Structure 1
Amino acid sequence: MVNNYLPSVGGVEFHVAALAKQLASLGARVTVFCLDNTTPSELDSNPRIVRFPCSPAVGGVLAWPWPGTSRKIRRMLSDGSVTAISTHTRFFPMSLIGVRLARRLGVPGIHTEHGSAAVKGVSPLVALASNLVDRTMGRLVLRGASRVLCISDGAREFVRDLAGVEGEVFHNAIDTAAFTAAPADTAGTTGPAGTAARNRLVYVGRIVPGKGWDLALATAEQLAVDHPEMELHIVGDGTDRTALASRAAASPLAERVVIHGQQPPARIAELLQGSVFLNPTTLSEGFQTTLLEAVAAGAAVVSTPVGAARYLLEAGADVRLADAADPGAWVENVRAALDSPAAPPAKALVDSFDWKRRAAEYLAVINSVRNS
């Protein structure tokens, strides 16, 4: 039970869609209840997608179901076939409905928390409102769930601080085959001992304040002279798209900056292979799947010290950390990554964050709660 689902795009939407698909592939019958005023339901598929009308979404994200939605869902689940209810992110109204329905139906309510801090990068008024939601509805969701899964250590600490609930880490995951199978292209020139030298910088993410696209561009400009073959590829869209285009057009690196907009996973995989992936975010991130995708594709990663980056560094991935407030450190870390030979990641590491494995772990969590 989620507020937003595909075709809406975002980290939570991709997580839920992948989890639902993999659970179905393991033999579970999955229904996704979500809010959507335009996309029709898909009632004959597995996962089955049931969409309910809702209020206009605040910021394109937070909508409210119309009165009676909870009653309609309960009637649909009254045949007793439901074995668990899955909710995602504490501040969505559908998460509260899901947790309460799980209790009324006597089934496990498994909540996955994707946030690792209060909302950042917003106006003071929005920050005040989101903090109020966290301390009311957010606490009700976290305290009402049978089990709380957290997609990073940071999320687990946040859940503990906000609601006094001990969650367990359940890392985000990806379809690793979609990135490890990317075809080789001209991402690099031949380097020492036949290895590929990196000459492509890639930013994948929303083009919004706080995600760091401006730092990515500024870093590339500082390295342009010493790396004449280097290009910067920016993938994504958002409210700063016009500002990005204007800034890039005026840049001395203008002819080597490519703004792609939204791209399918296959194209993103091609761009990531053998590249240096830039993640200069200062927002409250959960466990960013783009970092997993970059590592799976053989990219070196330079990131602010967010949870996913620290985890991958400790796991032995080619990751360098730099604070967003230190542009000099960004330049030197990206320079070191460009000068390092491109090499495939360890297979065991990549296998560890594949969705097939994670979905089986999710079923095990459900069974453990049902049997406890």
Structure 2
Amino acid sequence: MKIAILTTYFFPEENGITRYIEGLYGALLEAHGELEVEVIVFDTLGTQKWQEKWGQFTIRRIESRQFMGRTYAVPTLKGYRQLKKIFNDNKYDIINTHTRFFFSSFLGIKFGKKYDIPVVHTEHGSGYVQHGNLLVELVAKTYDHTLGKYTLKNSKIVCGVSESVCEFAKKLGAKKVQTIYNGIDAAFWQENVIKNEIKKELGINDGEIVFSFVGRIVPSKGCQDVIEALEKVKNISWKFVVVGDGIFRKKLEEIVSNKKLEDGIVFMGMQKKEMIRNILQISDLFINASFASEGMPTTILEASAAGAKCLSSDMGGSVEILPEENLYTAKNIDELREKIEGYRDIKKINVSRFDWKNIQEKFYDVLKSV
């Protein structure tokens, strides 16, 4: 079975979709050596490496043009010709696309119809795009009800990364859905690190409680809510470690400066997963404050596997894996502050069932069924 993953993002681009594809298909190829997988991806970083081997994957890149800080991309005329040549020169049994509002998913349906290849679409969002800019949200919602709906309706099956994602996909017209949860390589996140050395490297003093955030720094991820809540926290000596980058980082740093919280907040920028593991293992509490249409936040699974307690807004798949005491109402700063102050009462959770070794078998059954 030869599978073409048609996606907007993949290596060397680092984000949730990249990690999802790498994790799921890495475990799948390890368990089922008869499979052949090629990743056809927009060249969002301008590498111009049109084909290369990366681990178990053959990567074929097509030229693209990026918008909104690489949040969205479309192929150039050259890229479209490259895509046509790839499908003319190769015989694929299945096309796998990711996220209905990416143009790569729409192209997957079009090329699937042209070459008579079934499309298995993986959906990562549980609701409409939340951005903060009303025009962007309107355009995104219009796309969802046109090309996004077309993608979901014409996929052979839609695999949602949580039950809430599947419900949203059905509302947009998906005919057949299957929950294939997001996953992690649990062994990697559980590998012990020397915590005292990590704390010293980050300037964390003895007795300071470590809170952390990992993700894109955009308004809808809610990092600004955490900072506002922490400003009001009493009777706790804390350090907040922020890992990630994005269009909102400069504004976030201004907020921190205006509140005179520079000594308590560490901006780490983009980091390799080894460093992210180090930070999660020294964290007393990982905070996911997103008010976006979350599917199944990978960072909650990673933080839990690393041994951190997790506090999350009540969005998307978070409510499917966390108990009530680990949740708060999205955007409610006072409730968030209360939960942070009561971090000792928050429970650690077992996420072993979300290991890719378990998830891949369910996805393999889906592939065989089409």
Give your verdict on TM over 0.5: yes
- 1:77 matched to 2:56? The reply is no
Alpha-carbon deviation of 1:183?
Answer: 1.6
> 1:3 pairs with 4, 8, 12, which one?
8
- Corresponding residue for 1:271? 279
- Corresponding residue for 2:50? 41
Question: Equivalent residue of 1:97, what SS?
Answer: helix
The amino acid across from 2:368 in the alignment is N
Contact conserved, 1:294 with 1:300, CA < 8 A, in 2? yes
Contact conserved, 1:182 with 1:269, CA < 8 A, in 2? no
- Corresponding residue for 2:203? none
> 1:68 pairs with 81, 99, 108, which one?
81
- Corresponding residue for 1:30? 37
Distance 1:212 1:58 in 2: 19
- Corresponding residue for 1:359? 360
Alpha-carbon deviation of 1:112?
Answer: 0.5
Distance 1:128 1:295 in 2: 35
Distance 1:31 1:354 in 2: 23
- Corresponding residue for 1:193? none
Contact conserved, 1:143 with 1:165, CA < 8 A, in 2? yes
Question: Are residues 270 and 319 of structure 1, via their aligned partners in 2, closer, same or farther at CA, if it must alter by over 3 Å?
Answer: farther
Pairwise mapping of residues 292-307 of structure 1 onto structure 2 (< 5 A)? 292-307=301-316
Alpha-carbon deviation of 1:313?
Answer: 1.8
Contact conserved, 2:225 with 2:331, CA < 8 A, in 1? no
Alpha-carbon deviation of 1:48?
Answer: 0.1
Question: Equivalent residue of 1:136, what SS?
Answer: helix
* TM-score normalised by L of structure 2: 0.86
Pairwise mapping of residues 103-182 of structure 1 onto structure 2 (< 5 A)? 103-182=113-192
> 1:327 pairs with 327, 330, 333, which one?
333
Distance 1:133 1:177 in 2: 39
Alpha-carbon deviation of 1:201?
Answer: 0.7
Contact conserved, 2:164 with 2:317, CA < 8 A, in 1? no
Decide which structure has greater strand share.
2
Distance 2:174 2:108 in 1: 20
Distance 2:9 2:321 in 1: 28
The amino acid across from 1:179 in the alignment is W
Contact conserved, 2:208 with 2:239, CA < 8 A, in 1? no
Distance 1:308 1:272 in 2: 20
Question: Are residues 239 and 94 of structure 1, via their aligned partners in 2, closer, same or farther at CA, if it must alter by over 3 Å?
Answer: closer
Alpha-carbon deviation of 1:212?
Answer: 1.4
Alpha-carbon deviation of 1:227?
Answer: 1.3
Alpha-carbon deviation of 1:324?
Answer: 3.2
Question: Equivalent residue of 1:358, what SS?
Answer: helix
- Corresponding residue for 1:191? none
Which ranges of structure 2 fall in alignment gaps of 5 or more residues? 1-5, 200-206
- Corresponding residue for 1:238? 246
> 2:103 pairs with 84, 88, 93, which one?
93
Contact conserved, 1:54 with 1:64, CA < 8 A, in 2? yes
Alpha-carbon deviation of 1:150?
Answer: 0.6
Question: Equivalent residue of 2:72, what SS?
Answer: coil
Which ranges of structure 1 fall in alignment gaps of 5 or more residues? 189-196
Distance 1:163 1:269 in 2: 38
How large is the Cα RMSD of the aligned pairs? Answer: 2.5
* TM-score normalised by L of structure 1: 0.85
Question: Are residues 319 and 33 of structure 1, via their aligned partners in 2, closer, same or farther at CA, if it must alter by over 3 Å?
Answer: farther
Distance 1:246 1:49 in 2: 39
Distance 2:253 2:174 in 1: 45
The amino acid across from 2:338 in the alignment is E
Deviations 1:293-339 (A, max 9, x none): 1111111111110223211125xxx96111233222111111111x3
Question: Equivalent residue of 2:231, what SS?
Answer: helix
Contact conserved, 2:69 with 2:247, CA < 8 A, in 1? no
Question: Equivalent residue of 1:63, what SS?
Answer: strand
Question: Equivalent residue of 1:232, what SS?
Answer: strand
Distance 1:309 1:56 in 2: 30
Question: Matched residue pairs, number?
Answer: 349
Question: Are residues 242 and 361 of structure 1, via their aligned partners in 2, closer, same or farther at CA, if it must alter by over 3 Å?
Answer: same
- 1:255 matched to 2:255? The reply is no
Question: Are residues 182 and 268 of structure 1, via their aligned partners in 2, closer, same or farther at CA, if it must alter by over 3 Å?
Answer: farther
Distance 1:85 1:289 in 2: 24
The amino acid across from 1:149 in the alignment is C
> 2:294 pairs with 276, 282, 285, which one?
285
Alpha-carbon deviation of 1:250?
Answer: 3.9
Distance 2:310 2:109 in 1: 37
Question: Equivalent residue of 1:254, what SS?
Answer: coil
Q: Which is worse superposed, 255-264 or 17-26?
A: 17-26
